[in-house]
Structure 1
Amino acid sequence: MKFINSLSILFVIFILPFSFFAQVKSVGLPQVKNYKRTEYKGGTQNWNIDQDKKGNMYFANNSGLIQFDGSTWHKYSLPNGTAIRSVKIDNTGRIFVGGNDEFGYFKSNEKGVLKYFSLSKLIDKKANKNINLIWRIHLYKGEIIFQSFTKVFFFKNEKLRFIDAPNKFQFSFLVNKKLYFQDKVLGILEYKNGKLVPLKGSTVFNDKEIWSVFPLPNNRLLLATLEKGLFVTDGNSVKPWETEANEFIKKNTSLGGCIIKNKFIVLNSVLNGFIVCDLNGKIIQHLNRQKGLQNNTILTSFVDSKNNLWLGLDNGITFINENSPFTFFDYSYNIGTVYSSLLFNGYLYVATNQGLFYHSWNKSFKDEPFSRVEGTIAQAWNVQVINNTLLCASNSGALVIDQNRVSKVLDTKGYFGFKAIPNHENYIIGESYNGFSIFKKGANGIEYVNQVEGFDETTNTFEIALDGNFLWLKKDPYLYQMVLSDDLKRFDNIKKHTQLSSDYKGIGSLQVLNKKIYFQTKNHFYRFSKEQEAFFEDKKITQLFQGIPTINTLIEDTYGNLWYSYNESLGVLTKNKNGNFTKKEAPFSNLTGNLVNNYISVNTIDPGNIFIGLTDGLTHYDSKISNSFITKPNTFIESFSFTDDTILIGNLEIPEKEFKLPYSSNHVKFTFSSPTYENQENLLYSYKLEPFDDSWRNWSTVAIKEYTNLREGNYTMKIRAKNSYGIVSDVNEVNFTISPPWYRHFLAYLIYFIFVLAAIYIISNRIQSKIRKNKYYETIEQRRLYLEKESRIRHEQHELEKEIEKLKSDKLQIKILAKDKELVNNSLQVVKKNKILNGIIHKLKDIDTNILDDSTKFEFNKLHKSIVKEVNTDKSWKDLEKHIKNVHFEFLKRLKEKYPTISPRELDLSTYLLMNMSTKEIAEIMNISSGGVELARYRLRKKLGLNKKENLIGFLMSI
C-alpha cells in the first residue's frame, strides 16, 4: 500500500481568516434555497460547480454553462450543443469547461459577453474523434488538465498535449497537491514528470468506482466509492470506515462530495439527499427532499467562498446556508406557529397553533420530527413549569402535562398563561379568556379553586409585583393595577392608568427585569412606588435602550440577557461578565417579519441553544458562533444597456473603463448584482447617477434602473448594496460619457464661431459698401425724385388734359345725343309731314278732275305732282338711319358679336331703345303699330335670354 503513503504525505490546511469559527449545526435545518430549471433556464442535471473571484457561481449543466451573479442567470452553450460535465476557473478568470468530445474555455469579450474558445480543435482530427466525456478539470502546477475516460489533456502556454488512458479511466483527484487517476486495470496512477506512474497495491480498488478522496487527521485518507461505501487508509491498510456515514452511503450510494473547512465532510447520495459528517464519521446533518431539497439525487456539491454549500441536483440547483448560527424546525418537523417553548425533564416542548409538541433533548439531538403531546390538539398559547409541574395554557383549557400526555384538565376554559402568587405559597393565578382563575397545589397535585370576581377582560400579558398584592395587566390603551383580596376570590381594588408620565403618552410594554416589574413607554422605563403611589423612571435601564428603535416587547432570559422586539424585528442586549451589555441586532435581521407579534418567544437553554418562536416553526440560535458570517457584501453593476447594445460589466476584467455613447444612445439602463446568496430576498440596492441625481436613492429590492433623454456630458453611475444584516457594501461605479448631438458638438460650435466671424466680416463689408452705395444712390435718388416729381407734374397735366378732352368729348357726345334727338324729332316731323302729304295725295285722287276746266285741271295736276315729288324726294329718314348707325356702330357691333342670330330690325329696335325712344316714336319710325312694337320688344327679350324681372333697356346699356 505504498500508494497510500504517496496520497497522505502531508495534509495542508488552508485556514481562512474566520475558518476556526466554522460550524455545521446538528440541531434543526439550515436555510435552504432551491432554484428550479424554470428560473435558471437550463437543463435538469447539474454536474459540477465553481466560483470566480467576484463571487459569481458557475454550473456545468446539461444545456451548457450556467452563470449566476445573485440577481441574473445567464446561459452559454458549447458549439456542438452538448452537456457540460465539468467546470473550473483559473486565476485569470478563464472558465474552463468540458463536455462530450469538446473542451475549452469561456472568456469575456470587450462587451463582457462570454465567448467560447475551443481547445479540442488544437489536436488532430483522429484524436479529436475519441475525446469522450470530460469529467474532471484540475488546475495543477500551472497546467489546466482535462480528464475523460480515454485521455488526459494538458493545456499550458496556449499549447495542448495529451496522454492516452492505459486502459480506461474512471475519475481523477487532486489531493495534497498531487494528481491521481484511477485506471480500470492498473489501479491508481500518479502523474509525475509528465507521465502516469502506477502505484503498487492500488489494484484493490479495481472493482470499486472512486468518486472522491478526502484527507483525514493522522495522515489518513477517506475514499468514497459509488456502491461499495467508504474506505479509510492509514498508508498500511485499507478498511471500511465503520461509521454512521458509511452505513448511510452503503444504503444510498455515493456520488462523491466535498469538505467544509477541513472539519466536515459532505457526502452526496443518489437516493436520499446528502449528509454532513464530522471527521469521525458521525452524521451531523442530513437533508433530503422531505427536509427541503427539491431532489434526492445529488450529482455534485461545492463549498463557496463564504463556506456555504451549493448542490448540483439531478433536477435543479440548491443553496444551503451552512455558515449561519441559525437553523430551523419547520413543517417537516410537524410544527407550525410557535408561541412558547420550554425544556423540562429531558424534553423540549413547544406550544403551537396545532397543540403542544415535544422532542427528546440530549447532547446528541436526533434528527426526527416533534411528537404531539397526547390530548393537545387545539391552540396552545403557553407551556410553563410552576411548582415543578408542567402546565399548558391552551384553547382546550388549563392542562397538566405528565409523561408527554395530558394527565389532568384543571379547567375547560381557554387560558393564556399562569403565574405563582407571591406571599401565597402553592397558589397559582391563571389568565383565562374571561378573567382570572385561582389554582392550588395540594396532595393530589394542582386543583382548580375559584374564579376571581370583579374583572372579566383579558390579554396575553400580565405580571404580579413581588412586593405587594398588585396584579398588573396591560390591555391597550390601559394599564390595570389590581389588588387581590386575602381570600383570592375577588379584586378589592382596580385602577386604570393611561400614561406613566406626563412627558410620554401611552404604555408600551410590561415586563419583569431582575425580579422587578417595569413599565415601558417610548423606551423609557418606569417602576411603581407603593409608598408614593406614583411611577418613577429608572434612568439606568432607560440609558440601555438609547439609540434602539421603540420596542414593543422585552424579555429577560435566565442569563440576564434582554431580548427586545421592534418593528417585527428582534434584538438582544447580551449581558457580559462585568455587568455591561452588548447590543446585537444584525444577526436577527433575517427573522424580521417571521416573528409572532405580541407572542415573542425566546427560550435560552444555554448560550449555544436558544430557541425563538416563528410564524412558520422554530429557530435554533447558537450565540457562541462568531458573527464572522456577517461580512460586507460585494456589489456590481451587472449590465449597462443603451440603444441596440448591452455591456455585461460584471464579466469585464477591467470594469473601470469609461464608455462613450453617441447622443442617440442617451436612453440607458443598468442592472445590479451582488453575489450574496444567503437571504437574497432581503438584499437591497441604492444608486446614484452623478451629476443627474443629487442624492442616493432610497433602498429597494429592485435591481434595475433606467434613465431616459440624458443630456450630453460625463456621468458616473454608483451602486451599493445592503445585505439582510444591514451591512452596506463598498460603492461600485461605472463612468460613461454621452456625446453631444452634432449640432451641439465642439466642432459644430467652432464652425458656428467661424460662421459668426464670417457673417460679421461680410455684414461689416456690406454695411460699408452700403454706406458708399447709399451716398451714390442718395444723389441718384434725389435726381430720381426730381424727375419723378417732374414726371408726376407732366402726368397730372396730361391727365388734366385728358380729363378736359373727356369733358369735351362728353359734352360733344351730349351735343351729339341732343342733335340725334333733334334729328329724330325732325325726322319724325318729316314723317308726319309726309304722312299728311300722302293723305292729301289720297284725297286729291278722290277729286274728279273731269269736272274741272283745263287750266284748273292743269294746276291741279301740277299741284299733285309737286306734292308727290316732295314726298318722294325727301331723304331725311335715310339720313337719320345712317346717322344712327354711325353713332351707335360699336354698340351694334358688340351686340351682333354676342348674339349672332339677332336680325337687322331687332338691331334697329335695340338702337331705338338705347336712345330711350318711346313706343309711339318707335312705332312711327318703324312704321308699325304700338302692339307691333311690344311684340318686337318681347321677341327681342326672348332672343337676349332675359327673364321678366330684368330691364331690357338697362341690359342694352350694359353691353
Structure 2
Amino acid sequence: MAAQDYFFGNPVIRNFKPEEFKGGIQSWGIVQDDREVLYVANNFGLLEFDGATWNIYPVKAGTKVRSIYVGKQGRVYVGSQGDFGYFETNKAGILTYKSLANKLPVKDSNFDEVWRIYEQSGHVYFFTFKNIYKYTPGQKVEVIHTSGPLEFSFQANKNLYTLAWDLGLCLLENNRLKLLPGGEFFAQKQIASILPYDKDRLLIVTIKEGLYLYDGQRVLPFNLQKATACQDLVINQAVLLKDGNFALATQNKGLVVIDNQGKLVLNTAVQDGLLDNTIHTLYQDTQDNLWLGLNNGLAMVELSSPFSKLDGTLGLSGTGYAAMQQGNSLFVGTNSGLYVTSLGAGKKQFTLVPNSTGQVYHLDHIAGQLLMAHHNGPFLIKDNKAQLIYPEGGAWEFVQVPNQPNRLVYGSYYGLRLLSSSPEGLQLLQKFKGLDESSRVLEFDRDGDLWMAHGYKGIFRITFDARYEKIVKVQFYNSKNGFPSDQLINMEKINNELIFPAMQGVYKFNKATNRFVLDKAYTSLFGPEEHVIEMEEDVQGNIYFISNQRVGKITFTKFGKPLLEDKLFRNIREQLNDDLSYIQILDLNNVLFGAKEGFIHYNAAKPKRLAPFQTRLAHVIGTAGEKDSLLLTGRLLDKAEEPEWKYGFNSLRFVYASSFYEQPEKTQYQYYLENFDGGWSTWTPKTEKEYTNLPEGTYIFRVRARNVYGTISEAQPFEFVIRPPFYRSSWAFLFYALLGGLLIGAVALQVDRRFKKEKRRLILDKERKLGQKEIEIREITNQSEQEIDRLRDEKLQAEIDHKNRELTYSTIHLINKNELLTTVKTELQNIIKSGGRAAQADELNRIIKNIDHNITSEVDWKQFELHFNHVHGDFIHRLQEKFPCLTPTEIKLSTYLRLNLTTKDIAQLLNISVRGVEISRYRLRKRLELDRSENLTDFMLKF
C-alpha cells in the first residue's frame, strides 16, 4: 500500500482526557479481555472501560501500575512499583486485588517496578530490572535470579526475550537466560520492542538507535525512509498491526506508522488532533482500532476506517463546498476561500490561494483551465492565484458549450453568461437575455439544449441559436409536467444521460410527450420518502450519492444488477455539509465529501471490516426504598445461575454497554424484558433501563446494540427471578390456609354446637310428639296388622278351599270318568260273554283296551300331582325324599288318603277292587313302618 493511500488526510481520533476517565495522566499498558472490555495500566491503578463507563481499581495507595496482562479465568495480572499480583472477581462481582509479592522472601522482595508481564506454557512471568518472577496459578512464586541488571523484556513467536545490560539480548529458556548469537550487539542498546517481521526474522526496535532485523545469527539495520517524522525518533514501544504495518509510539513525535519497507505511512501528533506527542504504549483492539496510552490521557485512532479528515488540522478553514485535482495539486473550496496542497507530499498541508477569500461554490476544469465559481463572481485559477474574470457578484457553475471548446456558459445569481477562452485568459462575451433566474445547476443534453435546475421552482430547458449567442426558447417544467412537486428538483448526468431526482423518486424526460416520467430503475433503489440530493459517477460507473436519509454507493454486478451499500457511510452522514451537499471523485479510489468542517476523504481501496461486537450487562442495581444496592456485575452474569432476589428489590436498573468504541455516542440500544414488555423497545442511546414494581415471577432481560454502521450485536439473555413478598410466599399461603382452616373450623364448630343444641331441642320435642304419634300409630298398626292377618288368613283359607275344591272336582271327575268307563267296560264284557261274532268280539276287546288306557291315564295323574303339590306343600316330593322305596301306586294311594277319600273312591281311581285297596293300605303301612296303633289316614293328613 502506498504511503499516501493509507490516509489521505488525518485519521479519525477520539481523545480521552484524564478528567473523563478519572485516572492519572500517564498510562503504560492496554489490553482487552474475552468480553472485549479494555483494561489500562495507569498511574492511579487499573482502569476499566466497557464502552460506556470508566472504573478505576487501585493497587495500593499511590502505587502506579506499569504493566498489565489478561490471563485465564478472567484474571487481570498487573505489575506496579514494588509489587505484582492479579485482580479477580469476588463473590459480589467486584474486582479485588491479590498481591503475589507480599509472601516473597525478604531478599527477593526488593525490586522497583514490574514493566512486563507475559504468559508461556501455563506460567505467568513478571519481569523487573533485577529478577524474573515465575508464577504458576495455585502454586508459590518462583524467583529466577540473574547475574546482572536487566532492561525491558519481550515476547515474540512464543519466545521470551530480555536484554541483559552489558551482556546482550538473551532468550529465557529452562529458567535461565541464554545469550543469543549476535545478541551482544545490543549489550548497551535499549530495546523498545521485538516483533515478528517474517517467517525467519525479528524486527528489533531500539529506543534511540534505530531499527534492526535479526535472523537468529546476524543483526542488520532496518532503514527508514528519509522523512521528517522518521528522523531522530525516540521510540517507547512498537506493535505489529493486523495489516502488516508497524506502529511506533514515540517520545516526541506522536504516532508513527511505517510499512514493512520502512516507508512512512502515517504520522499523527498534537497538530493532527492528539492530546500529547508522547505515547507510552500501543494496543490494537478487536475492531482494529489503535489505542494510545499518552503521557497525558488516552486516544483511539480508527486505523481500519476508510475515512479520513481534511480539516483545520491540515490548514483548512470552513465548510467544504468544492474540490478539484489539477496535476499534482489538490484545490478545495470552502466558505472561507480556496485552498491548495501538493498530493506528492508525505503529509498534506493546505494553504489559502491568494485573492480567493470568501464563499467558493464550484470548481471546474474546462479547456485546460481551472475555474472557480465564487460569491464574488467567476475566477480563473492560474499559478496558484485567483483572477477575477468579470466583476459581477455570484457565480454558481461553468459548462462548456457543445462543439465549441473555447466557449463556455456560467450560471450566475442573475442568469446565464457567455465566456470565451483564449491564451490570454477568459473574457465575458455577453449576458443572455430571456432568462434572469439564479442558475446554480447546469447541464447540456445530447441535443445541445441547456437544462437548468432551480431548487424552489422547477426545471428550465433553454434552446440557443446555432452559434449559442442567443436564447431562442425557454421551456419551464414543474409539477404540472409530471414532477411530484415544484420544490427540491435536482439534476444529474449519469451514464451521459440526464436524470432528475425530485422530492420523491427519480425522473427522466420523455421527449415524445414533453413530460417527465418516473425512472423505475433508479427510484427502486431508494425509499418512498427519500430525496436524493447529490449523485456522482466514477469512471467504472459506480455512483456515490447523498440523500436526505443516508449516504452511500451504488455498484453494479456483471449482469447489471444494482447493489446499494450505505452501512459503511453511516459513520460520516451527520458530518456532511447540509447546505449544498457535495461529492467529488478524484479517481477510482479517492472520493471527497463536503463536510461541515472541511472534507471527508473516502478510500474505496481500503475495505472496512464490520466485525461483530458484544453487548454486555455491566451492572444490575436493585432499589429498596431510597437505597440502591449492587446486585450483580457483568463479570458474574455468565456464572450466575438464575439469581433470585427478594421482592424488596423488584425495582431494578440494568446498566449495559457495547464493545464497539467508534463513535459510541452514536451507538443505540434496544432492550426487552420477557414476561413484562410486549416486545423490543425502540432504539435509544441510553445505556441503562429501569423497571419499577415488577411483580413476582421469572424474567429474561435481553439487550442488544446497533452501532453507527447499523450492525446489530447478538442479544445475550439474562434470566432472573423476583420472589414474591412474604405475604404472598408459599409459606404465607400455607399459613393463610392453616389460619383459614382454623377459622372455618372454629366457625363450623360454633355453628355445629348451636345446630346440635337446636337439633337436640327439636329432636326431644319431635321425640315427644313422635312418642305420642308412635303410640297412636302402634295402636293403629296393631289393629291394622290384626286386620291384615285376619284378611290374609281368610284369603289363604279361601285359596286353599278353592284349591281343594278344584282337587275335589278333579278327583270327582276322575272318579265319575272311571265309573263310567268301568260301567261301559262291564257292559261290553257282558256282550262278549253273551256270544257274538268273532270280529265284533275283537272290536269290542279293542274298545275295552282303550277304556283301560283312559282309566289309568298318566296325563290326568300329572295334572293332578301338580295341583296337589301346590295345595299340600309339595307333599309328594317330601314323601318321596323321606320314603324313597315307595312305589308310584303307593304314592297315589298316599295322596288319596291325604284327600281323605273313601276306599271305594280310591279303588275306582286306582282301577282296582276294594279288597285290592285294603291290601295296598296294609303294604303301605309296612313301607312306612307304622305302628298298629297309628291311623294311616291321620298320618297322611299330618305329614
What's 2:300 paired with? 319
Deviation at 1:401, TM superposition (A): 1.1
Deviations 1:262-304 (A, max 9, x none): 6111111111102000111111000000101101110111111
SS in 1 for 2:237: strand
Q: Residue 502 of structure 2 aligns to which amino acid in structure 1?
A: T
Q: Is the 8 A contact 1:712 1:739 kept in 2?
A: yes
Moved more, 30-39 or 553-562: 553-562
Residue 468 of structure 1 and its aligned partner are, at CA, apart by: 4.0
**What corresponds to 2:584 in structure 1?**
603
1:625 match: secondary structure: coil
1:619 corresponds, among 588, 600, 605, to 600
1:416: Cα distance to partner? 1.3
Matches of 2:445 and 2:476, distance apart in 1: 16
Identify the residue that residue 915 of structure 2 maps to in structure 1.
none
Which stretch has the larger CA shift, 140-149 or 761-770? Answer: 761-770
Q: Quick one: distance in 1 between partners of 2:421 and 2:379? A: 14
Q: How far does residue 509 in structure 1 lie from its aligned partner after superposition?
A: 2.4
Aligned equivalent of 1:177? 158
The whole-number CA distance in structure 2 between the counterparts of 1:685 and 1:653 is 19
Contact in 2 for aligned 1:399/1:411 (Cα 8 Å): no
Q: Structure 2: where are the runs of 5+ without partners?
A: 766-943
Q: Following TM superposition, by how much is the alpha carbon of 1:703 offset from its aligned partner in structure 2, in angstroms?
A: 0.5
Q: Separation in 1 of the partners of 2:621 and 2:187?
A: 55
Pair 611,334 (structure 1): closer, same or farther in 2 beyond 3 Å = same
Q: 2-side partners of 1:235 and 1:262: how far apart?
A: 25
Per the alignment, residue 274 of structure 2 pairs with: 293
Shift of 1:27: 2.1
**Contact 1:720–1:729 at 8 Å: present in 2 too?**
yes
Partner of 1:349: 331
- Matches for 1:872-891 after TM superposition, within 5 Å: none
1:24–1:285: 8 Å Cα contact kept in structure 2?
Answer: no
Match of 2:194 among 213, 222, 229: 213
Pair 1:31 & 2:15 matched: no
Amino acid across the alignment from 1:258:
V
Change (3 A) 1:161 1:249: farther
Residue identity opposite 1:451 in structure 2: K
Q: CA deviation at 1:687?
A: 0.7
Please give the secondary structure, in 2, of the residue aligned with 1:681. helix
SS in 2 for 1:367: coil
CA distance in 1, matches of 2:322, 2:707: 30
Aligned-residue Cα RMSD (Å) equals 2.7
Match 1:263 to one of 244, 249, 258: 244
Which of the numbers 248, 253, 258 marks the counterpart of 2:234?
Answer: 253
Alignment match, 1:46: 27
- Choose from 633, 636, 648 the match for 1:649: 633
Spell out the pairing of 1:434-833 with structure 2 (5 A cutoff).
Answer: 434-442=414-422, 444-458=424-438, 460-484=440-464, 488=468, 491-499=471-479, 504-506=484-486, 508-521=489-502, 523-545=504-526, 549-567=530-548, 569-627=550-608, 629-643=609-623, 644-652=628-636, 654-655=638-639, 657-774=641-758
C-alpha separation in 1, matches of 2:600 and 2:670: 31
Partners of 2:153 and 2:632 in 1: how far apart? 35
| TM-superposed deviation, 1:655 | 4.7
CA–CA distance in 1 between the matches of 2:723 and 2:483?
60
Q: Structure 2 CA distance, aligned partners of 1:246 and 1:183?
A: 32
Match of 1:398 in 2: 378
Alpha-carbon spacing, 1:747–1:245, altered in 2? closer, same or farther (3 Å): farther
Change (3 A) 1:598 1:421: farther
Alignment-derived partner of residue 230 in structure 1: 211
Cα distance in 2 for partners of 1:505, 1:324 equals: 39
SS at 2:357 equivalent: coil
Contact 1:82–1:100 (8 Å) recurs in 2: yes
SS at match of 1:554: strand
What CA distance in whole angstroms lies between the structure 2 residues aligned with 1:665 and 1:23? 58
Shift of 1:504: 3.4
1:817 corresponds to which residue?
none
CA apart distance, 1:779: 13
Distance in 1 separating the partners of 2:639 and 2:412:
65
CA distance in 1, matches of 2:682, 2:612: 19
Is the contact made by 1:21 and 1:625 (CA closer than 8 Å) also made in structure 2?
no
Contact 1:89 1:96 in 2 (8 A): yes
Match of 2:810 in 1: none
1:229–1:250: 8 Å Cα contact kept in structure 2? no
For the Cα contact (< 8 Å) 1:256–1:268, is it kept in 2? yes
Match of 2:126 in 1: 146
Question: Which residue identity is paired with 2:707?
Answer: N
**Residue deviations 1:449-502, cap 9 Å, x none?**
122223333253233333143433223143333334566566444444331666
SS at match of 1:751: helix
Query: What is the CA-CA distance between 1:95 and the residue it aligns to?
Result: 0.4
Q: Distance in 1 between matches of 2:390 and 2:2?
A: 48
Q: Equivalent residue of 1:766, what SS?
A: helix
Q: Decide whether aligned partners of structure 1 residues 144 and 459 sit closer, same or farther in structure 2, where only a CA change above 3 A counts.
A: farther
Q: CA, structure 1 residues 503+32, in 2 after alignment: closer, same or farther (shift >3 Å)?
A: closer
AA at the equivalent of 1:380: V
Higher relative contact order (CA 8 A, sep 6+): 1
1:83 aligns with 2:64: yes
Q: Call closer, same or farther: CA 1:556–1:88 in 2, change over 3 Å.
A: same
8 Å contact from structure 2 (residues 323, 363) kept in 1: yes
How far did residue 249 of structure 1 move? Answer: 5.5
Corresponding pairs, count: 758
Instruction: Check the 8 A contact 1:568/1:597 in 2, yes or no.
Output: no
Q: Aligned equivalents of 1:619 and 1:246: distance in 2?
A: 25
Match of 1:419 among 399, 402, 408: 399
Structure 1 residues 520 and 274: CA distance shift in structure 2, 3 A: closer
The amino acid across from 2:496 in the alignment is K
Alignment-mate amino acid for residue 60 of structure 1 = A
1:423 Cα deviation (Å)? 5.3
TM-score (norm 1): 0.75
Give the drift of 1:260.
Answer: 0.3
- Aligned-partner SS, 2:665: helix
Residue 593 of structure 1 aligns to a residue in which SS? helix
Matched residue SS, 1:281: coil
Q: Is the 8 A contact 1:461 1:510 kept in 2?
A: yes
CA distance in 1, matches of 2:639, 2:702: 13
1:482–1:544 Cα change, 3 Å:
same
Tell whether the 8 Å contact from 2:504 to 2:528 is kept in structure 1 after alignment.
no
1:202 lines up with 2:186 in the alignment: no
Q: Identity percentage over the alignment?
A: 29
Aligned-partner Cα distance in 2 for 1:648–1:286: 44
Question: What's 1:338 paired with?
Answer: 320
Query: Which residue pairs with 2:39 in the alignment?
Result: 58
Question: Per the alignment, do residues 114 and 348 of structure 1 end up closer, same or farther by CA in structure 2, a change over 3 Å counting?
Answer: same
> 1:432 is matched with which residue?
412
In the TM superposition, residue 169 of structure 1 has moved relative to its aligned partner by 1.0
Unaligned runs of 5+ in 1: 1-19, 782-959
Instruction: Choose from 364, 374, 398 the match for 2:354.
Output: 374
Alpha-carbon separation, structure 2, partners of 1:502 and 1:227: 72
Q: Specify the SS of the correspondent of 1:728.
A: coil
Cα distance in 1 between the residues matched to 2:439 and 2:666 = 33
Residues in 1 aligned to 2:228 and 2:416: alpha-carbon distance in whole angstroms: 56
Change in Cα spacing, 1:419 to 1:492, as seen in structure 2 (3 Å) is same
SS in structure 2 opposite 1:429? strand
Three-state SS of the structure 1 residue aligned to 2:743 is helix
